[in-house]
Amino acid sequence: MPPDADVIAALDAIRAGATADSLESRTLDFKRQGRSRNDTAKDLAAASACFANSLGGSVVVGVHDRVPGPSAFEGTDLDPVWLVQRIYEITQPALTVSARTVPVGQVSLLVLTVPRSPDIHQVDQRASHRIGTSCVPMTAPQIAAALADRRGTDWSAEPAQLSSTAVSPIAMELARNYLRQSPDPARRRYAAETDADLLRVLGVVTPDSRLTRAGELLLARPDPSHDHLVYQYRRTPAGEPVVVDRLGPPLLSALARVLELISARVDETPVNLPGGQQVQLADLPQAAVREAVVNAVMHRDYRIVRPVQVEHAPTRLTVASPGPLVFGVTIDNILTTTSRPRNPALAAAIRTLGLAEEAGVGVDRMYREMVRVGHQPPRFTEEPEQVTVTLLGGAPNRHVARYVAILPEAEQEDADTLLILYHLLTSRTINASQARVMLQKDDVEAQEVLRRLSTEPVSMLEPTRETARRRYPNYRLGRAALEALGPAVRYHRGHTDQAERKVVELVAAAGQINARMVRIALDLDAPATSRMLAGLVERGVLVRTSEARRGPAVTYGPGPAFTAPRRAHGMPRRE
């Protein structure tokens, strides 16, 4: 988008009746001019420093943030040249912004454009950064961490106090086991190296044979009382923990153990793919779980003395990592931004062991693995000193899994394709403007994704007849995709009507049915079966014929609105 496109769009939205505060974002803020020019300049200097300490952004001056419509445009008479100079003078170190006036009706607004800065700027010896739509004060550790991120300082590459001989034999053998399992022959050969040579291969030892902080973290036990991870398991997401494990050093052992704990409590469902192959699909995909936990360990801020928190329930995993997102990464670009890791030496060692994807593709893989079995994409939230990712799983959607399996191989591994598919399971259409936000791309890139999915060899989408000639058409699932996905598409009434007719025929033939009979006859998963039976009961087509309220003992029979299916012409009447 052009530099001021978000500002122009926001002003248009206010003219149409929106309030400015509903349009503020991590990179956009609105301010009123105060009674004192100097006080206003100081307020705007603090807002500009806040943006410069984060991702940069725009401050629009002369707008009431809680008045809807054109009445919000109060205007300002501040001189742009004077204001830019005052912001430069007030901030430490001095911050240079640009300013321009924008006429709106009978008044003029002032738009300050603030660049992202390599420094941390303060006003009155106070620094703040943008979290969501607020400017939040920065603590001294946060300032130090932000400066280190911006200047490329790698905390994990610095020498530790321990000698390379202080490594844990158990952790070294675990590292070798990971290398032996690698599909790369060169990495498998690393497993036979001596301890000293293996440490050099991992890049966690200095020339004078001292461990780096990455080596100390991964492979040694400098402080056995310090927890790297805390794992808690609950039988329900809001229940009390029934398992709490505090996992101390070395980090590699703690990481392996928490992955084992999660895997042991994840259920699997057998699914037959179109080619006849049967696969076991987990309620929480193993690859997504591994990326969530390993990313938390790799990218956390180790200057914050707090463990990574792993909260696990049967269909939910939440991983909270100390520290903010790495400089330059936000919730809104996390899928597409290739960032420098906060701890490059630690990340390189973990990747050499095969525990993580190459830089920039781990988050993509999390999205892909969740969506390809019909689950929601990962949810990321950020607080000043913590980033949390939540995976919401459950029984895999077999119809989605089967459909993905028949897509061209490249599309099966493409997060954009799978996110578009997931959206269209519940929404009838999608266009470039909607896809842009979901895929974290611009309109042109999003349109190219939609166009690709509507042509051979994919042909998953088709433009709607009414919009096909537009530059950015609306797209919907094609007929073949709708039929293959079946009940996974919530709004596909034709398939639902057909399935309900089969249930009615089943009741007419058997007298009464249960959920298991419906699942087998219609090849539905448990959630789809429950929704269908509940809908038929609500409409009076079926009634419960048992006292049981849950499980296979619940049976259903004809209700007051039940209509037996017509027999084909010429068939004999049953006596």
- What integer pLDDT is reported at residue 574 of this predicted model? 41
Minimum mean pLDDT among 57-66, 167-176, 394-403, 530-539: which range?
Answer: 530-539
How does DSSP assign 42-57, residue by residue? Answer: HHHHHHHHHHHTTT-E
Which two structure tokens, joined as six digits, stand for 299?
């990218």
Distance CA 80, CA 99 (A): 6
Q: Which residues pair with 112 in a beta bridge?
A: 59, 99
**Could you report the per-residue pLDDT of 365-424, keeping only the tens digit for each?**
999 999 999 999 999 998 878 999 999 999 899 999 999 999 999 999 999 999 999 999
Res 551: pLDDT: 74
Contact 107, 52 (CB under 8 A): no
Q: 142 falls in which pLDDT band (50, 70, 90)?
A: confident
Number of other residues whose CB lies within 10 A of the CB of residue 402: 19
Place of tokens 């006036």: 101
pLDDT at 496: 61
Query: What percent of the chain clears pLDDT 70, i.e. is strictly above it?
Result: 95
Please state the rounded mean pLDDT for residues 262-268.
Answer: 94
Which is higher by pLDDT, 318 or 527?
Answer: 318
Q: Say what the pLDDT of residue 4 is.
A: 72
Angle, helices 443-453/415-424, rounded to nearest 10 degrees: 80
Q: Does position 146 have pLDDT exceeding 90, yes or no?
A: no
Average pLDDT, the chain: 90
Mean pLDDT of 436-447: 93
Give the pLDDT confidence of 214-230 residue by residue, as tens digits.
999 999 987 777 899 99
pLDDT of residue 486: 87
Burial 153-172 (b: 16+ CB within 10 A, else e): ebbbbeebebebebbbeebb
- Position 569 scores a pLDDT of 46
523/420 Cα distance (integer angstroms) = 25
Task: Give me the amino acid identity at 45.
Answer: A
Per the structure block, which two tokens stand in for 204? Answer: 């966690």
Mean pLDDT of the region 147-174: 91
Which distant-in-sequence residues (6+ apart) come within 8 Å of 424 by Cβ? 430, 461, 476, 477, 489
Predicted pLDDT of residue 404: 95
Q: Determine the residue type at 524.
A: L
- The confidence score (pLDDT) of residue 380 equals 94
- Alpha helices (runs of H) in 339-442, residue ranges in sequence order: 344-352, 362-371, 398-406, 409-412, 415-424, 432-439
Mean pLDDT of 231-255: 94
Of residues 138, 141, 111, 142, the one with CA closest to residue 122: 138
| pLDDT at residue 105 tops 70 | yes
What tokens were used for 525?
Answer: 């998963």
Note the pLDDT of residue 436.
Answer: 93
Question: Which residues are paired to 359 by β-bridges?
Answer: none
Residue 495 has what pLDDT? 58
Q: What's residue 571's pLDDT? A: 43
Domains of the chain: 5-138 (3.30.950.30), 139-385 (3.30.565.60), 407-488 (1.10.10.2340), 493-558 (1.10.10.10)
Average pLDDT over residues 268-278: 86
Taking only the tens place, the pLDDT of each residue in 474-490 is: 999 998 999 899 888 88
Q: 116-128 in b/e burial notation, b at 16+ Cβ within 10 A?
A: ebebbbbbeeebb
